[in-house]
């Protein structure tokens, strides 16, 4: 890090790790953009955002979704890419069917890398967040750009048409998704009826699956865990880690955030994880 002086102003030549979150806003603060910002900031990065939808929700559930039009979404993304130049992009809820194609063009225009796509389709309370027509365009235009897709078991069923109801079917589901172009697939098994939460990472059709296993934490505060995990993976990819190590570190952070929220009381429904249990100061990168 170098220090320069210009007209009496001291300037430090460093830059933070930069991650762009393209996602919906959660008025309850536990998921979506809010979870992404908290996660990236807690890990020592800088979060830029593009709002794709405004949701009316709290700990009890989602009441309404107001999609942002495609042009406004893309203008936000272009402004961030032009100036801030994100080192990773996390894509979450994208309910506008018209947004996927122009968004893909912008990401390609600015040569964006380390794209983590979390196919947010249905809320825990059962509210549809992404219609089928929008998901079809996401698969067509954005899946081929993704470094990683991170579906849970319910999203797997919606995407591939069958239940990945045991770990033996995870690979078949991942192979089907990889036919649509992403470099890797992480199937999240947190909703499975097993003693452990097992996530499976597939990085190529011929590679051996990597299994990440953690014990279940009994907690009422699990809202936003998927958003938190995918945002953390994007951060670690931006910091230069390989995908397998990024998933491991992100799982470690998310698990700790869940553990540190067990005793927290917030609202009358399902509360969020504790993103700020041990925040890291902003990481400085030499320019």
> Mean pLDDT, 10 residues at a time, over the chain (287 residues)?
56 92 98 98 98 96 94 98 98 95 98 96 71 91 98 90 77 91 91 67 89 89 96 98 98 96 96 97 92
**CATH numeric code, 17-273:** 3.40.1190.20
The sign of the dihedral angle between the CA atoms of 251, 253, 259, 265 is negative
Specify whether the CB–CB gap between 223 and 270 falls below 8 A: yes
What is the structure's pLDDT at 162?
Answer: 81
What is the structure's pLDDT at 280?
Answer: 97
Strand (E) positions, the chain? Answer: 2-6, 9-15, 18-26, 46-57, 62-67, 88-91, 115-117, 148-149, 185-187, 196-202, 210-215, 285-286
What is the structure's pLDDT at 243?
Answer: 97
Q: pTM for this one?
A: 0.93
**Beta strand 196-202 with 185-187: parallel, antiparallel or unpaired?**
antiparallel
What is the structure's pLDDT at 7?
Answer: 62
Specify whether the CB–CB gap between 120 and 36 falls below 8 A: no
What is the structure's pLDDT at 145?
Answer: 98
Of 130, 133, 138, 65, nearest to 103 by C-alpha is 138
What is the structure's pLDDT at 194?
Answer: 56
* DSSP per position, 117-152: E----B-TTS-B-S-HHHHHHIIIIIGGG-SEE--B
**Beta strand 62-67 with 88-91: parallel, antiparallel or unpaired?**
unpaired
């Amino acid at each position: 890090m170098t220090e320069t002086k210009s007209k009496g102003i001291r300037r430090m030549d460093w830059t933070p790790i930069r991650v762009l979150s393209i996602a919906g806003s959660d008025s309850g603060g536990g998921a979506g953009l809010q979870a992404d910002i908290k996660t990236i900031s807690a890990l020592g990065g800088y979060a830029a955002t593009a709002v794709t939808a405004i949701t009316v929700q709290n700990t009890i559930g989602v009441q309404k979704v107001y999609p942002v039009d495609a042009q406004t979404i893309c203008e936000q993304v272009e402004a961030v890419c032009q100036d801030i130049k994100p080192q990773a992009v996390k894509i979450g809820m994208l309910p506008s069917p018209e947004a996927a194609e122009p968004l893909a063009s912008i990401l390609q225009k600015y040569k964006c890398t380390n794209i983590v796509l979390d196919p947010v389709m249905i809320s825990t309370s059962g509210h549809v967040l992404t219609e089928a027509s929008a998901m079809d365009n996401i698969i067509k235009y954005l899946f081929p750009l993704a470094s990683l897709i991170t579906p849970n078991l319910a999203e797997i069923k919606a995407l591939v048409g069958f239940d990945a109801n045991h770990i033996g079917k995870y690979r078949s589901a991942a192979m089907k998704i990889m036919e649509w172009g992403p470099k890797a697939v992480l199937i999240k098994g947190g909703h499975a009826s097993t003693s452990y939460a097992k996530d499976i990472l597939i990085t190529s059709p011929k590679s051996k699956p990597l299994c990440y296993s953690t014990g279940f934490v009994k907690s009422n505060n699990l809202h936003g865990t998927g958003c938190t995990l995918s945002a953390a993976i994007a951060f670690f990819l931006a910091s230069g880690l390989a995908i397998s190590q990024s998933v491991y570190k992100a799982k470690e952070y998310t698990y700790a955030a869940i553990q540190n929220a067990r005793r927290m009381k917030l609202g009358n429904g399902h509360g969020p994880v504790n993103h700020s249990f041990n925040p890291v100061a902003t990481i400085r990168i030499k320019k």
